[in-house]
Amino acid sequence: MNFLNLSLGELLGLTGAISAGVVALYLLDRSKRNQVVSTLRFWVSADVRTQLKHRRRIQQPWSLILELISLFLLLAAIAGPRLGIIDGSGRDHVLILDTSAWMGSRARQGTLLDEARASARAYLRSLPSRDRVMLVRADALATPATSFESQHAVIEEAIRESQPSASALNLEQALDYARIAQKQSKRPGEIVFAGAGRVPEEQATLDWLPPNLRVLPVGTPQENVGLRKVGLRRSPSQPDTWDIFVVVRNYGARPHDVDLALQFGKSPAGEKRFSLRPGSEETAAFVYKTRVAGYLEARLNIRDAFPQDDRALIELPAQAALRVIVYSKEPQLLRPLIAANPQVQAAFDSPDQYNPAANADVVVLDRFAPPSPPRVNSIWIEPPASGSPVPVVQTKTAVRLERWRDETELGQNLRTQDAVLESSELFQPAAGDISVAEAAAGPLIVARQDKDLKLVVFGFHPGRGAMKYQLATPLLMENILRWIAPVAFRQWEVQAGTVGIVRVPVEKGTDPASVRVLDQNQRPLPFTIQDDTLQFFSGAPGNVSVLMGPRETVYSLTLPDVAEAVWTPPASVRRGVPRASLEGSATRDLWPWLALLGGLGLLVDWLLYGRSRVFRLRASQMVSPLSSRIAAKVGWRRQERKAS
Amino acid sequence: MPDPLIDTPTLEKIERLTIHWQKSLPGLVGGHNTSRFAGPGQEFLDHRHFHHGDDLRAVNWRVYLRLEKLFLKMFQLEPRIPVRILLDISKSMSAGAASKFDYARRLAAALCYVGLVRLDSICLQPFSARLHDAFTASGGRHRFQPAVNFLASLQPAGQTDFLASARQFISEYPQRGLLLVISDFLDEHDCEKPLQYLADFGHELMLVQVWADEDRQPPWEGELELEDAETGQRVELAFDAGARARYTAEFDEFCDRLERVALRNHGRYVGLSTSVPVEQAVFNSLVASGVLQ
């Protein structure tokens, strides 16, 4: 016999303390009561007075003994005694529940996860109650749902609360985690995997498996065709056009013919029919022209086991054009430089129509100084010396353009050779100004940023003279506009992918400091760049933006990650729910009987010696002969009262 | 500010009551109970022969015209007799959880108020081993507050001695009247004989016995060490349900004897438990006994 909840010493100590308390209370309750009464005449005349010459402190010893025995029985019941030989060392098991996206697919009854839950619960019920179990939910990450818990109800509750995630199963990591957890517990036990075992191809055959692994397989190979990836990006040549490509995969074992339909704002945007061989992927490209924002939906018209990957919804941003107003008497000189840019929406006005609060992003002032400076970004071309925002030092003829400051963003990638300007102003830059092009005598082009306003001042006209035919001229204008309004020239790219690890190819030598990875709440996500590949992890569905210079890629990670392969455990691995442990059935719990006896003893004590008159009178009539005989045997002289 | 003893709503309810006595007691005119004694009154009582000195206004002239004899009309007297309340203030009245003393004071206050409202002459006479200072009032409800102050100033003390108190009462109050005794009647000696003395002297007895529930049915069980509240005597005993039944029977027998004393002398008896509210005791028990109407 052993005790589940208390040691023998604790039981005896508790019994002693409570018995002492009970005896004290008993003596207090049954001790002589002092009472002041109005008169003694009735007490005397009623002949109830009895002089107690040898008064005992304990009036009803049988009651006290019965109470003490009953309390001991109740305490023993609390201690949880068990009859039989018990191996006291319980075991620690790690139960890995597959909560990958694939577990949400349809099964015969409910989902695959429902079957896995049922198997896990069956396994749990087969364990003896002393065994502890840790539940680990496994998808792309192995997450412990509970610690090693001996209360199996807690584990069952955690199993019931498990839901399929959006990522694929990383079985290798989950098994490794279980092995480490079990090693730390220092108690033997099993590692149990309950799930479909749909893993990436590289994990289809695992090199190492724990020797104490048990598998509770669920599900059968099922046919599924799903969207693998949906990508969109603005066409470099036509910014209002989206290049769309969709990757569809057949995960099943049979060929399937699938219709793919694209919709933008509930309007058809494209469709294609795929004939997919088992395990194959196909890509379809579409072009869709729109400047407005909206939702693009890609849908596969098929009814398969896993409908979650048959539809993808991507939010497309609006195409914002850069509004430029050119105030010039000779707009034909500037029109090729500015209006040729497809991301620029240019308007040409005469200087007479100058408006300092023009509704534009950039204002170009061609050879005139306005009475009041513009309130938006501006490009000044050969401004009069009196009205130039950057002081003009002198105006020279036959000025040789010595060099471009290609270390700046504005002078990047600009080259000219023997460029001689017929006439040009030379400026006196202030501190913080950016010199873009310089002659021997001083800067020819100066850029300035004042808080939110940016301006660029040309000392010469880029559309006239020697610069008119230079290749650097349109590039210079592109650099200036990109510097003034970088958002308008940002390259948008949207990818609908699966949660988990995302890999993005980057240019060689990309500085990690120039890259930002932000989640949908604009909080930075950790990432690494290795071997020209940016890599980050997103465990939950949502949008992630990757900003690299002018390029912004939005990853809409909403597609569930369905692994390609099915892990098949080796034949040596134990399978299925084991039979219920015989160790537990060899013991018998005694506490219900002890509790019943203890309660019965207290009830009898109450009936015989309690203050309830009705029961007491009846019971005493029945039991008093018996108790008198017992008292006579053990030698107690009980004081007989006239009333009885 | 003394304890008001009885709240105003209760006083408003009981002021419609009247203290009623059965005996024909002599007294000055102005009462509200009829008497067998003749005197100035409204109700015709009898005729008698005219004697010298009789009031000529009472001669029945119609009879004289017919019989040529002088007969005098006699009228029923409604005497104004004293109402005396003997209030037990011995220590036994304060023994136990429920104070009989407070209950008795409130009851006396209620009876005093009823008497004062009907213009009776009220005398509050506390007693224990002897009579203590009395309070006498008559002439309207405005004298009620001094009566309350008097009752509130009383403190329970001393032993009960009915015999000594009765003798002193008879010697101090020669005029017969209604005598209300509010007490637990728990005297070490017999209280029936003194009560008989009072009745024999001509007083109309109204015995109001006040007891606490524990006086009649002690709730305790087991070993008890009892102390007499008045004498301080101690006794140890074992008490159980059977003993309780005998005790209660003895107590009830004592009450019956008290009632017999009252009835035998054309008086009345009311037994009141302190668990019964005073207002309920006045309107139920006292009205039912006839002392209040």
Instruction: Tell me whether residues B226 and A47 touch, CB distance under 8 A.
Output: no
Q: Would you say residue B33 lies in a domain?
A: no
* Inter-chain residue contact A52 with B251, CB threshold 8 Å: no
Closest Cα in chain A to B227: A36
Tell me: the pLDDT tens digits for B254-280? 999 999 999 998 899 999 999 999 898
ipTM over 0.90: no
Write out the H or E segment, with its range, that includes residue A242: strand A241-250
Distance from CA of A29 to the nearest CA of B (A): 9
Tell me what pLDDT residue A636 has: 40
What average pLDDT is seen over chain A?
81
Instruction: Clarify whether residues B272 and B130 are in a common domain.
Output: yes
Cα of B204 to nearest chain A Cα, Å: 27
pLDDT (average), residues A493-499: 76
- Report whether pLDDT(A53) > 50: no
Least confident interval from A88-92, A133-137, B68-72: A88-92
Asked if residues B151 and B5 have their Cβ atoms less than 8 Å apart, the reply is yes
**3-state secondary structure at position A157:** helix
Report d(CA A457, CA A377) in Å as an integer. 11
Out of A36, A46, A639, name the one closest to residue B227 (CB).
Answer: A36
Best to test chain A binding among B223, B247, B273 (most A CBs inside 10 Å): B223
Distance from CA of B101 to the nearest CA of A (A): 12
Residue with tokens 């001042």: A457
pLDDT over 70 percentage in chain B: 92
Quick one: pLDDT at residue A47? 57
Distance CA A229, CA A78 (A): 61
CA atoms within 13 A on the CB side of B233: 12
Confidence of residue A189 (pLDDT cuts 50, 70, 90): confident
Asked if B194 and B230 sit in the same domain, the reply is yes
Predicted confidence (pLDDT) per residue in B241-251, tens digit: 888 888 899 89
Confidence grade of residue A211 (pLDDT, cut at 50, 70, 90): confident
Most B CBs within 10 Å: which of A37, A41, A53, A54, as the mutation test of the B interface?
A37
Instruction: Give start-end residues of each CATH 2.60.40.10 domain in chain A.
Output: 226-317+490-559
Instruction: Verify whether the Cβ–Cβ distance B242 to A641 is below 8 Å.
Output: yes
Confidence at residue A85, expressed as pLDDT on a 0 to 100 scale: 55
B219 has a chain A CB within 8 A of its CB: no
Rounded to a whole number of angstroms, the distance between the first and last alpha carbons of chain B is: 32
Please give the single-letter amino acid code of residue B287. V
Predicted confidence band at A296 (pLDDT cuts at 50, 70, 90)?
Answer: confident
pTM for this prediction: 0.46
Q: Looking at the domain assignment, is residue B239 inside a domain?
A: yes
Min Cα separation B230/chain A (Å)? 7
B97–chain A Cβ distance below 8 A for any pair:
no
- B144-162 residue pLDDT tens: 889 999 999 999 988 999 9
Q: Give the model's confidence band at B40: pLDDT under 50 very low, under 70 low, under 90 confident, else very high.
A: low
Give the gap in angstroms from C-alpha A35 to the nearest C-alpha of chain B.
5
- Inside any domain, residue B155: yes
Residue among A33, A38, A613 whose CB faces B92 most closely: A38
Going A383 to A385 to A390 to A394, the CA torsion angle's sign is positive
Of A309, A160, A121, residue with least CA distance to A222: A309
What is the average pLDDT across A507-519? Answer: 84
Residue B89 confidence (pLDDT) above 90: yes
User: Please, which pLDDT band fits residue A30 given cuts at 50, 70 and 90?
Assistant: low
Cβ contacts (< 8 Å) between A33 and chain B: which residues?
Answer: 220, 222-225
- Is residue A69 predicted with pLDDT exceeding 50? yes
Domain count, chain B: 2
- What does the block give as tokens for B229? 């509240």
Query: What string of DSSP letters covers A522-548?
Result: S-B--EEEETTEEEEEE-SSEEEEEEE
Nearest-angstrom CA–CA distance, A416 and A401:
8
Classify domain A226-317+490-559 by CATH number: 2.60.40.10
Residues from chain B contacting residue A644 (CB–CB below 8 Å): 240, 242
A505-526 average pLDDT score:
84
The parent domain of residue B224 ranges over 8-24+81-289
CA distances from A623 to A31, A641, B142 (A): 24, 16, 68
Q: How confident is the model at residue A630 (pLDDT cuts 50, 70, 90)?
A: very low
Residues B64 and B94 in one domain: no
Which residues of chain B lie closer than 8 angstroms to A638, CB-CB? none
The pLDDT of residue B168 is 92
Q: Does pLDDT of A632 surpass 60?
A: no
Residue B236 is assigned to a structural domain of this protein: yes
Q: Is residue B109 part of a domain?
A: yes
Interface contact flag, A34 B251, Cβ < 8 Å: no
Contact of B114 with B143, CB cutoff 8 Å: no
Which residues of chain B does A615 touch, with a Cβ-Cβ cutoff of 8 Å? none
pLDDT value, residue A2: 66
Question: Going by DSSP bridges, is the β-strand pair A377-381/A362-366 parallel, antiparallel, or unpaired?
Answer: parallel
Q: Could you tell me the two tokens for A632? A: 């006579």
Helix (H, G, I), strand (E, B) or coil at A522: coil
**Contact (CB<8Å) A43/B235:** yes
CA–CA gap between residue B14 and residue A274 (Å, rounded): 106
Comparing alpha-carbon positions, the chain B residue that sits nearest to A48 is: B243
Residues in B touching A611 (Cβ below 8 Å): 221
CATH of segment(s) A322-484: 3.40.50.880
By C-alpha distance, the chain B residue nearest A36 is B227
CATH 3.40.50.880, chain A: domain bounds: 322-484
Contact B227 A34 (CB under 8 A): yes
Answer whether residue B249 is part of any domain: yes
pLDDT of residue B1: 47
Distance from CA of A617 to the nearest CA of B (A): 9
Do residues B209 and B275 share a domain?
A: yes
Q: Which residues of A touch B (CB under 8 A)?
A: 30-52, 55, 59, 611, 613, 617, 639, 641-644
Suggest the residue from B94, B159, B224 to mutate for an interface test with chain A (most A CBs closer than 10 A): B224
Interface touch B222/A51, C-beta < 8 Å: no
Q: Do both B57 and B182 map to the same domain?
A: no
Bigger pLDDT: A7 vs A112: A112
Verify that B240 and B109 share a domain, yes or no: yes
DSSP H or E segment with residue A327? strand A322-327
Residue spans in chain A of domains classed CATH 3.40.50.410: 92-222+565-585
Do the Cβ atoms of B90 and B132 come closer than 8 Å? Answer: no
Give A99-145 pLDDT, tens digit per residue: 888 888 887 778 888 888 999 998 988 888 778 899 999 888 888 99
Instruction: Please judge whether A46 and B247 are an interchain contact, meaning their C-beta atoms are less than 8 angstroms apart.
Output: yes
* pLDDT (0 to 100) of residue A489: 76
**Residue A640 pLDDT > 50, yes or no?**
no
The answer to whether A199 and A565 have CB atoms below 8 angstroms apart is yes
Kindly determine whether residue B186 and residue A32, on different chains, have CB atoms separated by under 8 Å: no
Look at residue A627 in the predicted model and tell me its pLDDT: 46
- Give me the mean pLDDT over the A508-532 stretch: 85
B249 vs A contacts (CB less than 8 Å): 46
B125 pLDDT higher than 90 = yes
Task: Tell whether B251 lies on the interface with A, counting CB pairs under 8 A.
Answer: yes
B106 and B188 belong to one structural domain: yes
B92 touches chain A (CB under 8 A): yes
CATH number where B152 lies: 3.40.50.410
Query: Do B46 and B178 belong together in one domain?
Result: no
For the segment A161-180, the average pLDDT, to the nearest whole number, is 88
Is A52's CB within 8 Å of B247's CB?
A: no
Task: Determine the average pLDDT of the residues in A319-323.
Answer: 79
Please, which residues bridge with residue A438 across strands? A403, A443
CB nearest A42 (choices: B223, B233, B250): B250
pLDDT > 90? residue A396: no
Q: Which residues of A touch B212 (CB under 8 A)?
A: 38
Residues in chain A closer than 8 A to B233 (CB atoms) = 40
- Asked whether residue B97 falls in the same domain as residue B230, the answer is yes
Which of A93, A95, A88, A97 has the alpha carbon at shortest distance from A187?
A93
A532-571 pLDDT, tens per residue?
A: 888 888 877 788 888 887 777 888 777 788 887 888 888 8
User: What single DSSP character describes residue A385?
Assistant: T
Is B172 part of any domain?
A: yes
Q: Please check whether residues B44 and B102 belong to one and the same domain.
A: no
What's the burial of A514, exposed, middle or buried (CB within 10 Å: 0-12/13-18/19+)? exposed
pLDDT of residue B37: 62
Q: Which DSSP state fits A130? A: T
CATH architecture of A92-222+565-585: 3-Layer(aba) Sandwich (3.40)
**B111, B254: one domain:** yes
CB atoms within 10 A of CB A556: 22
* Pair B89, B70 in one domain: no
pLDDT band at residue A226, thresholds of 50, 70 and 90?
confident
Q: Residue B18: which residues within 8 A CB-CB, separation 6 or more?
A: B32, B114, B118, B292, B293
User: Is B1 within the bounds of a domain?
Assistant: no
Beta bridge partners of B121: B82, B138
